[in-house]
Amino acid sequence: MKVTVVGAGAVGATCADNIARKELCEELVLLDIKEGLAEGKAQDMMQTAALLGFDTRIVGSTNDYSKTAGSDVVVITSGIPRKPGMTREELIGTNAGIVKTVCENILKYSPEAIIIVISNPMDTMTQLAITSSGIPKNRIIGMGGTLDSARFKYQLSQRLGCSPADLNALVVGGHGDTTMIPLIRFATWNSIPVTKFLSEEEQQQVIADTMVGGATLTKLIGTSAWYAPGAAGAALVESILRDEKKLFTCCVQLDGEYGQKDICLGVPVVIGKNGWEKIVDFDLNDAEKALFQKSADAVRAMNDVLKSL
């Protein structure tokens, strides 16, 4: 197996490190446009192999896509964060150009690759990857909901005083502070609904804290988070390469599911060797359906910016 991670920044390097430590593939290519960055980080990670006991071969590359040839899975983390004074249109315009170019180059050398999109704005970049690449929609996966769900479990574990591993909890909708929908009604602690342990006020606080999870970390750290986003990307790679059929929330193209068409949004999907293999229909109530529609409207507004570029 071979995996490529495009973008050797904090998220990309963390994702690559997780993949290598778990020995999910024989060869891992780390690619970046900045001269020497990917080669340096690849060498640094390879120097941990004797200490950590993994055999994955990590190769760094400065924009040489020929080294990515034959990749089974490609994770795209490249793009720029929004800077002070930068409009939403400017951010989308810059990152859209990056993601489109990356997809074209990746598929030139790995036409059968499954692509995981982490670049922001993630829902719109996933939509762009599908429309610009022309490959089957099951091979394009946006990571956002996987991360949001992990953050949801963290917030629940803090309130309940339990292990996050004992929780099942999903976030659906767009990957943004105002568009994600933590489905607390479906969340369980070892099969028992968490609503049995939390007051309505506590439930609403968990939901609110989950929705601003990324912004909270940016305020504390001074930049976007990378450990959990990188681990989330690696978790999807693992489920694909090991054909685990795990249920994750991922941003995928909908064709009538959850009442939406021609849009990429976060919904529960089964992840296996073919990419996303099945959308799982959670029976949303009227209030949740209304929130999902509102989320879809916001993402569509973001996608409309692509049409003006």
pLDDT tens for the chain, 309 residues long, are 999 999 999 999 999 999 999 999 999 999 999 999 999 999 999 999 999 999 999 999 999 999 999 999 999 999 887 666 766 668 898 999 999 999 999 999 999 999 999 999 999 999 999 999 999 999 999 999 999 999 999 999 999 999 999 999 999 999 999 999 999 999 999 999 999 999 999 999 999 999 999 989 989 998 889 999 999 999 999 999 999 999 999 999 999 999 999 999 999 999 999 999 999 999 999 999 999 999 999 999 999 988 877
pLDDT for 87: 65
Count of other CB atoms within 10 angstroms of residue 150: 21
At 268 the three-state DSSP class reads strand
Give the Cα separation of 18 and 264 in Å (integer): 27
The verdict on whether omega for the bond into residue 121 sits within 30 degrees of 0, i.e. cis, is yes
Give the bridge partners for 247, in sequence order: 270
Predicted structure pTM score? 0.96
pLDDT for 84: 66
pLDDT for 132: 92
Catalytic residue among 41, 67, 100, 175: 175
pLDDT for 308: 78
Do residues 38 and 110 lie in contact, with contact meaning Cβ atoms separated by under 8 Å? no
How far apart, in Å, do the first and last CA atoms of the chain sit? Answer: 37
pLDDT for 83: 67
Q: What angle do CA 89, 91, 95 make, to 5 degrees?
A: 120
pLDDT for 86: 65
Whether 309 is catalytic: no
